[in-house]
Amino acid sequence: MMIVKMINKSRIKTVIGSLFLTLCFTACSLNIPYENQFSDPDAITTPNTARELLATAYKQLPSPEFDLSVLGDDFETTSWISRDASLNNLYKWQTQPIEDLAVSIWSDYYAAVAIANAVLERVDGISVSTTEETKELQAVVSEAKLLKAYCYFNLLRLFAPDYEDGPEKDGIILKDQLELEFLYRSSIEECVTAIRELLKEALTVENNPSDVYWFSQYSGYYMWAELELYAHNYEQAAEYAQKVIDEKGGYDVLGETVYATLWSNSSCAERVFSLFTNSSYYTGINYDTHKGDYMTVNSSLITLYADGDIRSGASVFTKEMTDDALGNTTMENCLGKYNKMNWEKIEPQYINKYRVAGACFILAEAYCRDGKGHDGQAVGVMNRYLEQRNATLLDTQLSGEPLLKAIFQEKWKEFVGEGERYFDLKRCRKGVLSDWNTSGTMATDKRVQADDYRWTFPIPRGEYLYNENVSQNEGWTKIEN
């Protein structure tokens, strides 16, 4: 059953009204309105009404996959890009569109955190009378904590320097109460610790809903694996990634039949967590339904796919496009996945966030980096994954940095257009992926160095304008009025 069907219509007015107030509050995102602006306390008295309020937090989560793919190296521009100056400037890493994107992402994630906090603060006032109600309330609490961890982790990756740049550097603001507070940014290490604690608390509850758009234990362990990989705790990252793979069906769910359902409105055994959407998604890439897209898949990436690789068939589709004002036509390598669904007038319902393939990449990278001679295990993980994708297997003698490069190359092929590449580039731009912008059209379109300050998004002006305790990230201007 979809989220919108699970919300009790008799209660929706209070919840949606409160959400509207949250979204309209455009100054400091941590100026959380008082509790009666979220919901009437008397309305959140049962597990079902708590679930209804939590559902609005899920709906608030942003999906910036296209924008992050534009910032990465997934795309090349077409002749139509001149018709959208903002998109063109984002592609070229101009500051204004990055600032605009930062404001949107920051406000959406913190709005979701605020709603999750409202749910958690109502828990003590909720009475339960049956075993089923007890389990449902425990599930709601677990999911609220997972949702907060999810928001904090994504905010940390975008708005703080990379962990390797210094865990003592400013991270994000940890907001755990509903009331107004003027807080400092916690350090990156403090943020990692807080996220880890949320995950530990949430995963004491056995909660595995049948629908993948609610957080579950599986998605919690995926998140935990990704967090530990980010924090260089490779043994723990490998442990939790392996747990996801084992509990979600192993490598068998990576085959062609299941893979084909990832970009459809059918259920998919490989999905671990997906957002549900009933509105347009990934339409920003399309200029005109007949003339073409603003961007196509990076030609350097396309050459890396082997014949028969099922990832190529899903990621790239060739379409005749009118490429300029003269009416000339060419065959363009358009992005597949959600973009192809839109071209075929199929509105996506699932936005894939976590899937088993991602856990395989976390596991392989963790093995390769752990310093314990597990390169062979890393190759084994990759080859079991690649075999299911009908792709060329890795040389079993690969190790060290060449193996890491191979892992990231295969991950690029898997996640093109889904925003994952941006996070890998930010983490590894000073090392294994330092040559990311030196091939193909990237060399002329993007001149972004490894130490460029724009890798870390700016703290929105509305955040520090009313809270002098909030610092701005290096390189970005702190406007005081």
Tens of pLDDT, residue by residue over 75-99, are 999 989 999 999 999 999 999 999 9
The answer to whether 297 and 314 are in contact (CB under 8 A) is no
CA 364 to mean position of chain CA atoms: 20
Band (180; pLDDT cuts 50, 70, 90): low
pLDDT of residue 324: 60
Q: In terms of domains, do 243 and 278 share one?
A: yes
324 found inside a domain: yes
Q: What is the pLDDT of residues 284-321, one digit of tens each?
A: 999 987 888 999 999 999 999 999 999 999 999 998 87
341 found inside a domain: yes
Burial of 168 (0-12, 13-18, 19+ CB in 10 A): exposed
Band (10; pLDDT cuts 50, 70, 90): very low
Q: In terms of domains, do 180 and 286 share one?
A: no
pLDDT of residue 440: 59
Q: In terms of domains, do 23 and 132 share one?
A: yes
Q: Average the pLDDT over 179-196 and give the result.
A: 90
Cα separation, 288 vs 102, whole angstroms: 27
Q: What is the pLDDT of residues 210-221, one digit of tens each?
A: 999 999 999 999
CA 72 to each of CA 91, 371, 434: distance values in angstroms, whole numbers, following the listed order: 8, 29, 13
70 found inside a domain: no
The answer to whether 49 and 11 are in contact (CB under 8 A) is yes
426 found inside a domain: no
78 found inside a domain: no
pLDDT of residue 41: 61
Taking residue 166's Cβ as centre, other Cβ atoms within 10 Å add up to 13
Q: In terms of domains, do 386 and 460 share one?
A: no
pLDDT of residue 266: 95
Q: In terms of domains, do 145 and 235 share one?
A: no
Sign of CA dihedral 20, 353, 148, 143: positive
- Pairing assessment for the beta strands 329-335 and 316-322 based on DSSP bridges: antiparallel
The answer to whether 356 and 248 are in contact (CB under 8 A) is yes
For residue 62, is pLDDT > 80? Answer: yes
412 found inside a domain: yes
At position 327, the amino acid (one-letter code) is G
Q: What is the CATH number of the domain that holds 231?
A: 1.25.40.390
Q: What is the CATH number of the domain that holds 195?
A: 1.25.40.890
For residue 248, is pLDDT > 70? Answer: yes
Q: In terms of domains, do 103 and 142 share one?
A: yes
- On the CB side of 298, CA atoms within 13 Å amount to 28
Q: In terms of domains, do 358 and 379 share one?
A: yes
For residue 13, is pLDDT > 80? Answer: no
Q: In terms of domains, do 2 and 138 share one?
A: yes
At position 310, the amino acid (one-letter code) is I
pLDDT of residue 39: 52
Closest CA to 33 of 151, 177, 171, 141: 177
Q: What is the pLDDT of residues 222-233, one digit of tens each?
A: 999 999 999 999
Cα separation, 263 vs 331, whole angstroms: 23
3-state secondary structure of 164: helix
Cα separation, 32 vs 324, whole angstroms: 48
391-397 long-range contacts (CB < 8 A, ≥24 apart) are: 391/305, 391/306, 391/309, 391/310, 391/311, 392/306, 392/309
37 found inside a domain: yes
Cα separation, 477 vs 460, whole angstroms: 10
- Pairing assessment for the beta strands 316-322 and 350-355 based on DSSP bridges: unpaired
For residue 341, is pLDDT > 70? Answer: yes
Q: Average the pLDDT over 233-244 and give the result.
A: 98
Q: What is the pLDDT of residues 102-124, one digit of tens each?
A: 999 999 999 999 999 999 999 98
For residue 32, is pLDDT > 70? Answer: no
pLDDT of residue 265: 94
The answer to whether 254 and 263 are in contact (CB under 8 A) is no
Cα separation, 121 vs 101, whole angstroms: 30
Q: In terms of domains, do 161 and 175 share one?
A: yes
Cβ neighbours for 233, distance < 8 A, ≥ 6 positions apart: none
Q: Is the pTM of this model over 0.85?
A: yes
**Domains contained in the chain, number:** 2
Q: In terms of domains, do 162 and 293 share one?
A: no
397 found inside a domain: yes
Sign of CA dihedral 245, 389, 434, 186: negative
237-241 long-range contacts (CB < 8 A, ≥24 apart) are: 237/362, 237/363, 237/365, 237/366, 238/362, 238/363, 238/366, 238/367, 238/370, 241/359, 241/360, 241/362, 241/363, 241/366
The values of phi and psi at residue 450, to 5°, are -65, -30
Q: In terms of domains, do 116 and 158 share one?
A: yes
The answer to whether 216 and 207 are in contact (CB under 8 A) is yes
Q: In terms of domains, do 384 and 356 share one?
A: yes
Band (330; pLDDT cuts 50, 70, 90): confident
For residues 52 and 2, which has the higher predicted lDDT (pLDDT)?
52
Q: Average the pLDDT over 258-280 and give the result.
A: 95
Domain residue limits at 196: 1-64+83-205+440-481
Residue whose pair of structure tokens reads 């295990």 in the numeric block: 377
pLDDT of residue 2: 36
Closest CA to 122 of 59, 57, 182, 213: 57
3-state secondary structure of 355: strand
